[in-house]
Structure 1
Amino acid sequence: MEQLGFDFGVEPRPLIKVTPARLSIYDDCPRRYRMTYLDRPAPMRTGPWAHNTLGAVVHNAMRELFGLPSGERTPERAAKLVSRHWRGAGFADAVQVARYAEAARRWVADYVEEHGADADVVGLERWVSATVGSDPASPSLIVEGRADRIDRRDAELVVVDYKTGRRAPEDSDARRSQALALYAVAAGRTLRAPCSRVELHHLPSGTVAVAEHTDESLSEHVRRAEETATASRTATDRLTEGGDPDQLFPARPAPRCAWCELRPSCPDGRQAAPAARPWDLLVPTT
């Protein structure tokens, strides 16, 4: 006997897997997205940037520090961890290397003194993931990524992101951050606890920028992520079908082209702004 089945003539929509970094790069410049994730062989890039080196060192030190029992998270230990992870790539010279190594040791030590180190940490560079969409009944995205730190405060989770850039963030920056919002959604799903608070911890200044999300504000970030993810996948599909790469992934020239790592491979970027030196984006030290 013939087996009965249902065929409504509608193919299920495949989920799009994204990270906050991929979404941000596409929003900033589709050409940079294509060069970063799609072009093969990989385009020529600049050398290392000192601010990236500095950020990586501080992140590594903070990860190791908060992996210790709270009683061992001392200012002295924090400073020693900076020395352990220190690298000098991208700096102007040995004098600048020494100055920023000392500054970074002071930042992390001051952070422990000012903010304490007794956080109840449930995730360090924790990989979190969630299936989401603007229509909860028909999710379209798998959002995933690695959060710097996830704390438990009372019964709720808090997403913490470290910053070492030139400008101290404000609460509005934390509220506007799509990455933090998506990490909050994914952390809540992965660790099965409410998560609405996100924080930017700026180590050079000791500033903590805070946002308390609502269901509505998180849903708005998800909706925007869905729009970006759909646009990037549509462009990628058309590129695979033989479409023009420069039309599908146009450059968006801006002052940031001065320090884009793909500048050597992007004529539009080179015309948009003079090249920055590898150390120009370092936060000033006193």
Structure 2
Amino acid sequence: MDDLLPGMPKRLFVATPTKLLTFADCKRKYRYTYLETPRPPKGPPWAHNTVGAVVHEVLADFFGRWPASRRTPDEVVAKMRSSWRSEGFRDERQSLDWRDRSTEMVLGYLRDSDPYYEPRGVERTVAFTTARASLRGRVDRIDERPARDGSGGTELAIVDYKTGRRPLTPVDARSSLAMALYVLGARRVLHRPCTRVELHHLPTNTIAAADHDEDSLAQHQKRAESMADDAAAAEARWAEGLTPAEADAAFPPEPSPLCGWCDFAKICPQGRREAPPREPWAGLDDGDQAPIAEAG
């Protein structure tokens, strides 16, 4: 039942952008990730995810935890070395090569940064609710900058770090569901104007920026609510108890060339027929192009 007691409001569906997009992309993967207990075994970790995780960790320390006196190239190099992990790489040589390449990437990104700059938020969780869903996510960085409208006040900018191979464009920034939901969440939590979204692409040291208006934000919110409605209905069916055949019908796979990158590729015959599982290091520069992951 939706109501705990007669007259009580309907329980809101709680989700992150990643959860919603997983449901939209492949309901079988959604079932494996969020519903099955115990969760089916995943494949091995991806090397490109290791690169991204370590880079994000170091940047979070630099902007969010270190005092200005520690924000030096030597400290960055030391942190990259101490935080580095070898998960997903072909061998130690490839891992060490990517540690050095990633270190240079971070140093290049930070070269012109102000060591005294303090963002409004680092790895900050933001959230907001609608009549149908409670949506939340964690933002890499939230900058507070002088307002561009000449009012003398300030405005927020949502910053997301990207370490994938493909250069990004303003269209990528504006079309990102996660970034739009972060704008709405930051407005709600921090009570400041916010329209700006920026994808900081570290491999090319470029920024793909865009500004939302109320119409574009409303469109993203409507899309998120529609996804949440569908996912909530599917979860309600799951909670009622399904036979294996009914579960397969309610959460079908959606085969595509991206199946080779799925964590559950080895246990999904439909996905394997569409695309063979990739090697864990295939998403690096010396491998194939990995899919661009939305922020969480």
TM-score (norm 2): 0.87
| Aligned residue in 2 for 1:212 | 211
Q: Equivalent residues in 2 for 1:1-16 (5 A)? A: 12-16=9-13
| Aligned residue in 1 for 2:198 | 199
Structure 2 residue aligned with 1:255, among 254, 257, 265?
257
Tell whether the 8 Å contact from 1:65 to 1:77 is kept in structure 2 after alignment: no
Is 1:276 the counterpart of 2:268? The answer is no
| Aligned residue in 2 for 1:50 | 47
| CA–CA distance in structure 1, aligned partners of residues 117 and 176 of structure 2 | 23
Is 1:60 the counterpart of 2:52? The answer is no
| CA–CA distance in structure 2, aligned partners of residues 203 and 116 of structure 1 | 17
Structure 1 residue aligned with 2:145, among 153, 158, 165?
153
| CA–CA distance in structure 2, aligned partners of residues 283 and 122 of structure 1 | 33
Flag the 1:232–1:162 CA change in 2: closer, same or farther, 3 A. same
Q: Look up the equivalent residue of 1:209 and give its one-letter code.
A: A
- The structural deviation recorded for 1:116 is 5.0
SS at match of 1:200: strand
- The structural deviation recorded for 1:122 is 1.4
Tell whether the 8 Å contact from 1:75 to 1:108 is kept in structure 2 after alignment: no
Q: Encode CA deviations 1:234-283: one digit per residue, 9 max, x unaligned.
A: 01111222341111111111111111111122111111101211000013
**How many residues in Structure 1 have an aligned counterpart in Structure 2?**
271
SS at match of 1:23: helix
| CA–CA distance in structure 1, aligned partners of residues 20 and 285 of structure 2 | 26
Runs (4+) of structure 1 moved beyond 6 Å?
Answer: none
| Structure 2: gaps of 5 or more residues | 1-5, 147-153, 288-296
- The structural deviation recorded for 1:284 is 4.6
- Aligned-residue identity in percent: 42
| CA–CA distance in structure 2, aligned partners of residues 156 and 120 of structure 1 | 14
Q: Equivalent residues in 2 for 1:115-126 (5 A)? A: 116=114, 119-126=117-124
SS at match of 1:279: coil
| Structure 1: gaps of 5 or more residues | 1-8, 133-138
SS at match of 1:147: strand
| Aligned residue in 2 for 1:5 | none
Tell whether the 8 Å contact from 2:266 to 2:277 is kept in structure 1 after alignment: no
SS at match of 2:120: strand
| CA–CA distance in structure 1, aligned partners of residues 286 and 159 of structure 2 | 23
| CA–CA distance in structure 2, aligned partners of residues 253 and 114 of structure 1 | 44
Q: Equivalent residues in 2 for 1:63-78 (5 A)? A: 63-67=60-64, 68-70=66-68, 72-78=70-76
- The structural deviation recorded for 1:202 is 1.0
Is 1:37 the counterpart of 2:34? The answer is yes
SS at match of 2:89: coil
| CA–CA distance in structure 1, aligned partners of residues 207 and 273 of structure 2 | 37
| CA–CA distance in structure 2, aligned partners of residues 71 and 185 of structure 1 | 34
- The structural deviation recorded for 1:88 is 0.8
